[in-house]
Amino acid sequence: MATQTRSMLLNVGPSHPAMHGVIRLVMELEGEKIKGVEVEMGYLHRAFEKMCETVMYNQCFPYTDRLNYVSPLINNVGFAMTVEKLLDVQVPERAQYIRVIMSEISRVTDHLTCIGATAMELGAMSAFLYMIKAREYLYELVEEITGARLTISYVRIGGVKADLTEGFADRAFAKIAEVRKVLIEADELLTRNRIFFDRMKGIGVISKEDAISYGITGPFLRSTGVALDLRKANPYLIYDRLDFEVPVGTTGDNLDRYFVRMAEAEQSLRMIEQCLEQIPDGPVVGQLTGEVMKAADMVDHAKMGETQGLEGFQVDLDPTLQGGTKKYQAGIKVNRRDVVLPAKEETYGNIEGLMNHFKLTMYGHGIRPPMGEAYGTVEGANGELGFYIVSDGRDNPWRVRVHPPCFPIMAALPQCLIGGSMADLVPTFGSVNMIAGELDR
Amino acid sequence: MTPLELVSQQFAAEIIETHSYRGDQTAVIRPGALLAVAKYLKNTPELAFDYLMDLTAVDYLFYAGGRVQKEYRFEVVYHFYSLSKNHRIRLKVPLDEKNPEIDSLNDLWKSANWYEREVWDMYGIKFKGHPNLKRILMYEEFQGHALRKDYPFNKRQPLIGPQN
């Protein structure tokens, strides 16, 4: 009698301990071999694009925080740069440096999370804890500047919300040194680790041609040997002034992606150091000189009509909002009344400033880019993060489209998995670095 | 010559308009010419567009509060990138409200597969020759297409399906 073989269907996800993020893979198995994979996504769809159409431009930032929630600052920067392209606005040099510093910090946190989670899923719990420790150092820096750790909403159209704090550079150098130590530790724990090595080497391979045809960018593409990095290919902000390398792999397997990410984390740390050395001087945050008034007091005076002599005063404001006062405004925000809120001294102290403020915050007024369209890109932690924005000349965008970098990678995932064994799913899926927030939007 | 000039020269009859607003080279082409233009973009050595970076659509229903009347309702927007030449071009294809349909680029770029599914899901635009045109973000039973301008942003749809 002839034997019959049947394949087995196995659902992985949408909520599964080895899937960091909600996604469902319907696997067709023949013994341990994967015969077919169907990717089912959309479990974290929150209608980002639709919601952006209903709010004003600056109100989109909280939504962008939640795209790639491991490196939200890069999303902020990408969105702001696209709207600035529509408005034809150049942000001040200091703000550009701050944006690069924050983006690169985010890139390191993203890579640390990705490598750490992959290692953890392969059983290397201590490597994961070390890397999360390093991520914590960087989150402390982010928290110091933005006032939040994840939902930072830090970038504004035309600049950034707040200036760097006093002594930030010294603390950043110290934290970078700590992160470097962790990277070395992780390298020692993982790279020569037989178990880790064997489960990564030659697994989840994708060819250069396939990666390009699928539209893949970022570390996933660079692991195949293509040195495409938007920071080099099409330098934006001040990346052309920085000295850094684009690490590439050769075979496009999981191990190469691990090496590329490790090397990139180091390059990003180098970039932060260079930025901190090059950044033009701004006012040092901290002690205010001259006549100072509490923001609430100034508002009270202004409400009573006692605006005489108020222009001489400086406003004392919460540290995370200090970019809003006269002292910092020039360094970190572009001088355009139709784009940037006036300094708080202006808003509280005279009617023109108050009107200016309302003109930018009332529905139907706000920032109104001229009718047109623009596609802006930044190099996200996963690859090209693109925003395509259509403006109809009104204060809310007509269309906001996000090109999420892990979307094409997920489309290519079945190709990486088919033919391999079921256990290979875990390291391959880890090295894809799927972020459901940006995949499903 | 820029990619836009090359395309305009080659397909003069098929081009509706071109612009380079804010430096983004853009050509609006007739729907019937899409496959020919796409093949030209991919296979011409001077252009070498090996990336279909992004594919999306825009609904122009009541654009600019109705102040600007477009002759068509939808635009399918393609963003191409060339790795070797490091240049980009945007193609836009206008489509009518009734039975919007356009050729699939799935055979030329594998990335088109999922992007086209998303456009079908969100806008209800069909892609001729797509091997597996089904919803990608929403569930199969979802009624309507969520990114169309006549779909209210706060509309709710409980999961509909066979009753227990």
Over range A267-287, report the average pLDDT: 81
Point out the least confidently predicted range of A284-293, A345-354, B154-163: A284-293
Q: Please indicate whether, in this complex, the C-beta atoms of A214 and B22 are within 8 angstroms of each other.
A: no
One domain, residues A402 and A374:
yes
Judge whether B158 is closer than 8 Å to chain A, CB to CB. Answer: no
* Same domain assignment for residues A220 and A333: no
Q: Which residues of B touch A232 (CB under 8 A)?
A: none
Cβ separation B53–A212 shorter than 8 A: no
**Candidates A50, A388, A440; nearest CB to B54:** A388
CB contacts of A406 in chain B (<8 Å) are: none
Q: B69 — contact with chain A (CB < 8 Å)?
A: no
Judgement on whether residues A272 and A321 belong to the same structural domain of the protein: no
State whether A174 and A225 are in the same domain.
yes
Q: Do A219 and A342 reside in the same domain of the chain? A: no
Helices (H), B2-158: 3-10, 34-43, 112-123
Residue A134 pLDDT? 92
Contact (CB<8Å) B52/A215: yes
> Which of A88, A210, A234 is facing B22, going by the closest CB pair?
A88
Q: CA nearest A48 in B: which residue?
A: B147
Percent of chain B with pLDDT over 70: 96
- A97 within a domain of the structure (yes/no): yes
CATH level 3 topology of B3-128:
Beta Polymerase; domain 2 (3.30.460)
| Domain termination site, one of A339, A361, A383 | A361
- Structurally, how many domains does chain A consist of? 2
- pLDDT, residue A180, reads 92
Q: What separation in angstroms does the CA of A176 have from each of A138, A231, A278, B132, B140?
A: 8, 21, 17, 48, 48
* Residue A250 within any structural domain of the chain: yes
Q: Can you tell me the mean pLDDT for A328-354?
A: 83
Is the minimum CB–CB distance between B11 and chain A shorter than 8 Å?
A: no
In a domain, A25, yes or no: no
Amino acid B90: pLDDT? 92
The answer to whether residue B68 neighbours chain A at the CB level (below 8 Å) is yes
Same domain, A436 and A331: no
Chain A touched by B63 (CB under 8 Å): yes
Mutate to test the interface with A, among B17, B50, B53, B73 (most CBs of A within 10 A): B53
Q: Does any CB of chain A come closer than 8 Å to the CB of residue B109?
A: yes
State which of A361, A387, A406 marks the end of a domain: A361
Examine residue A13 and state whether it is found in any structural domain, yes or no. no
Q: Is the Cα torsion angle A140, A144, A150, A154 positive or negative in sign?
A: negative
Residue pair A34/A421 in contact by the 8 Å Cβ criterion: yes
In this structure, the strands spanning B88-95 and B26-29 are parallel
Domain end marker among A330, A361, A392: A361
* Total-model pTM: 0.90
Q: List CB contacts (< 8 A) between A386 and chain B.
A: 53-54, 79
Write the pLDDT tens digit of every residue in A366-421. 888 998 899 999 998 889 999 999 998 888 899 999 999 989 999 999 988 888 89
Domain residue ranges of chain B, discontinuous segments joined by +: 3-128
- Domain co-membership, A347 together with A387: no
Å between A39 CA and nearest CA of chain B: 9
Q: Which residues of A352-372 are buried (b: 16+ CB within 10 A; e: fewer)?
A: ebbebbeebeeeeebbbbebb
CB contact under 8 A, B86 and A233: yes
Residues A227, A344 within the same domain:
no
A392 to B50: CB separation less than 8 angstroms, yes or no: no
Per residue in A187-227, pLDDT tens?
A: 888 888 888 888 888 888 888 889 999 999 999 999 998 98
Residues A267-279, mean pLDDT to the nearest whole number: 90
pLDDT digits (tens, 9 = 90+) for A22-40: 888 898 988 889 998 999 8
A421 DSSP 8-state letter: B
Q: Which of residues 347-406 of A touch B (CB under 8 A)?
A: 371-375, 384, 386, 388, 390, 392-394, 398-399, 401, 403
Share of chain A above pLDDT 70, in %: 97
Note whether A227 contacts B: Cβ–Cβ < 8 A. Answer: no
**Nearest-by-Cβ selection for B111 from A215, A375, A401:** A215
Instruction: Give A387→chain B minimum CA distance, Å.
Output: 10
- Co-location of A318 and A430 in the same domain: no
Helix (H, G, I), strand (E, B) or coil at B97: coil
- Going by C-alpha positions, the residue among A439, A440, A437 that lies closest to residue A151 is A437
Question: In this predicted model, what pLDDT tens digit does every residue of A75-107 receive, in sequence order?
Answer: 999 999 999 999 988 888 888 999 999 999 999
Judgement on whether residues A52 and A188 belong to the same structural domain of the protein: yes
- The residue among A40, A363, A401 with the most chain B CBs within 10 A of its CB, best to mutate, is A401
Is A35 within a domain?
no
pLDDT(A339) > 90: no
Q: Domain for residue A11, yes or no?
A: no
CB-based contact A384 B24, cutoff 8 Å: no
pLDDT grade for A146, boundaries at 50, 70 and 90: confident
A280-302 mean pLDDT: 73
The alpha-carbon gap from B10 to the nearest alpha carbon of chain A, in Å, equals 24
| Size of chain B, expressed as the number of residues it contains | 164
**Is A106 in the same domain as A243?**
yes
Q: Does A243 reside within a domain?
A: yes
Residue A411 resides in a domain:
yes
Question: Which of A51-60, A265-274, A284-293 has the lowest average pLDDT?
Answer: A284-293
Q: A58, A39 in Cβ contact below 8 A?
A: no
Taking CA–CA distances from A39, the nearest residue in chain B reads B136
**pLDDT tens over chain B, length 164 residues:** 888 888 888 888 888 888 888 888 999 999 888 999 999 988 988 888 999 999 999 998 888 777 777 888 899 999 999 988 899 999 999 998 888 899 999 999 999 999 999 999 999 999 999 998 889 988 888 888 989 988 888 888 776 666 55
* Domain span holding position A298: 292-361
For residue A282, pLDDT beyond 80 = no
Torsion, Cα of B143, B149, B154, B159 (10° steps): 10
Give the whole-angstrom CA distance, residue A162 versus residue B35: 49
With a threshold of 0.95, tell me whether the complex ipTM lies above it.
no
CA B18 – CA B3 distance, rounded (Å): 12
CB contact under 8 A, A213 and B137: no
Report d(CA B96, CA A402) in Å as an integer.
24
pLDDT at B161: 60
- Do residues A357 and A376 share a domain? no
